[in-house]
Amino acid sequence: MKTEFATLANGCFWCSEAIFTRLKGVKSVLPGYTGGLVEDPSYDEVCTGTTGHAEAAQVEFDPTVISFEKLLDVFWHTHDPTTLNRQGADVGTQYRSAIFYHNEKQREIAEKSKMELEKSGIYKDPIVTEIAPFKKFYIAEDYHKKYYEQHQNAPYCRFVIEPKIDKLVNQYVREIKSEFS
């Protein structure tokens, strides 16, 4: 089995990791930093907003089970791609919406996906998601890994992450029902 990688920034990487790990065909999800200029940044450095890095998830997936297109569908529907440098109460360039493509095929798929979403009218405001080439990914500190699973009762997990997971589950329940109606 040959896996591929998707690098996606859709706000807090705790949310991203919790969402993408639940998808069939996803082999691993690592929280980390990408898109900036500072080598091997720390969380504290990224939080200053001066490194240029975004909090992101590095998703390793089996394309025979889940496509890059399906990952993007989940990406689009589990955050607000119309808010610049913000997701909910998380504010700063490190929380921007971005797709860091690994090859030309991913770039084409991302551009097409963004264009189709714009045309759909789902969002009244323009989509501000950045689509940029992947350069380097820096894995976050260990205490960020599997954050939701280890802190499910924490207020941030209950009030920010759980609604995103619920939205994901509800979206796919609707899809399955429509397939069998």
Distance, CA of 113 to CA of 90 (rounded, Å): 25
Distance, CA of 118 to CA of 112 (rounded, Å): 10
Structural contact between residues 96 and 85, judged by C-beta atoms closer than 8 angstroms: yes
Out of 12, 15, 47, 157, the active site residue is 12
Q: What is the mean pLDDT of each run of 10 residues along the chain (181 residues)?
A: 95 92 94 96 95 97 96 92 89 95 98 96 94 97 88 86 80 52 41
How high is the pLDDT of residue 172?
Answer: 60
How high is the pLDDT of residue 36?
Answer: 96
User: Residue length, the chain?
Assistant: 181
How high is the pLDDT of residue 180?
Answer: 39
How high is the pLDDT of residue 50?
Answer: 94
CB atoms within 10 A of CB 37: 10
Distance, CA of 149 to CA of 18 (rounded, Å): 8
| Amino acid at site 82 | T
Residue 116: its H or E element: helix 104-120
The set of residues, in sequence order, having a beta carbon less than 8 Å from that of 151 and lying 6+ positions away, is 157
| DSSP code of residue 158 | I
Distance, CA of 147 to CA of 57 (rounded, Å): 13
pTM over 0.85: yes
How high is the pLDDT of residue 101?
Answer: 98
Distance, CA of 76 to CA of 150 (rounded, Å): 26
How high is the pLDDT of residue 47?
Answer: 93
Residue 134: its H or E element: none
* Residue 12 annotated as catalytic: yes
How high is the pLDDT of residue 156?
Answer: 83
Distance, CA of 138 to CA of 125 (rounded, Å): 32
How high is the pLDDT of residue 161?
Answer: 83
